[in-house]
A and B are shown apart, each in its own frame.
Chain A
């Protein structure tokens, strides 16, 4: 066993080391990780205070309703219009405020979690199935999406997570499927409306098969037809999950997807297609590559990807065997600094190291993410956040990180021993340069800034 293994377990697999972690982990780093893959793990209680998916839909619907009313009133009276505008602004601010609180609570839950490996996996999958507030209507739904569609399946089967993600209103809205209408469906014929192929394409390209996974434009269009009718339960007609299948939007007739004919079967066509994608060899390879990139290196060794691919296939998409394979793979432990922390990792690991997450207010936490361009649930595209170091470290990005480091140091230096903090966070792998920098800094605040800015703290 290497002396760096405790660091790797805490930082690469976990979310950064806390005081005493290395001592706890050192005797059995792999066992420490394995123990976190436990279905009995209870995440932060704050998550349960977030509104339910159904309530979130209601909030969004009410706001959109208000907007429509405002349009109507605009025609009627200017004075009324001003009132309505103020009302909407208030409602929007409230939703935004809730979102900031949810981001902060999620972060605290991760920073203080006794199962940081589990929480990292939540982030990984949440990013794999990206939903984003860049679609404004998703503002109230993104946190519920992670809690309700991702978390329950992190230790389960890939197919179940794919299904939960696709059915969740946050995804249906983010990738426009909720209003995709079969041109020959009842609604399509009446309203001269039609398909939107956004979700169909991204499920194949980004969630399952991968871009070279063996599908064509024709498959995208056919899958889009299959998915028509998969929409948001805006009126509470469904099973309470937020999903609703609307037969009047569904394109009738047979469809051909990846060479298979799907005879008309309503919602079951989409269910069948998702099962087929989950079981497809391209999906195994795609998911394995992403996991290897996250836990081994930006360009993971092909042999490691092959082993993970085989594991996915053998276990029919069960995810636990994948994680257990990663834990025992030498490649995952060989170079403890191979990966660069994303801004999210960087901020969470500072909060873990300093233990101040409960006393740092919501705005400060969200502000740090905003400064470093990675506000949770706001990825710029459905591909999610990049998992490659070069995409996160540019000149200006580094200055911003140093600034966040300085800000964090200012808050704790008065009662922190920088040398001890270094031992607690990067001790097993601290370089001579970093030790010297921390020892010779002009002040405790400067020493802590340099510690957080050091390559060992910024990598994982």
Chain B
């Protein structure tokens, strides 16, 4: 057998086993490159508020705060919805304090969470459901963000706004396009649990796919750069030797 025939035979056989994965790679790859990553990340789902802190509203001083929380860390002054607040950690717990009165606002209740979610969300849809997640976060939420409120909106792409129940900050936002992206990525790297590209299944698939692709390129080479190659590409292998089945004087 010559190179052309060997290439055709093994290209066909390899693709019998790899073909579906090639389709998966191309579909998932196309999805990931066609949708703009910022859109996938849900940047359009939220309002990037630029409201400024009014220093006159900070009537509860840092001095008072550190008397109550002597080992406060990562102290931050900012806004929660439209209210001046202190945010800080102490002993691994996040606190949210009204900067006017010194009232402890954390942990945030459902009503406040819904108000905050509406404040962050750029859309106009109704709230579908609200859920406090304290353990076993869904795949799309990091466990470091717990406890967190998940507020689902009844809108195009089923958007979810996650906010920290301790700091009131926007933790993340998700919609179906990002969830699909995650699925596409796991299909692309053939790791259906951790989305880790270093796995043996992917390794062997790529190795055989490389072989199949190289054989395919040999076929392309023969098809385009060695025109008139000796037999018809579509030929049935068992009858491809017919060029000279003449009967008199071949």
Task: Say whether A associates with B.
Answer: no
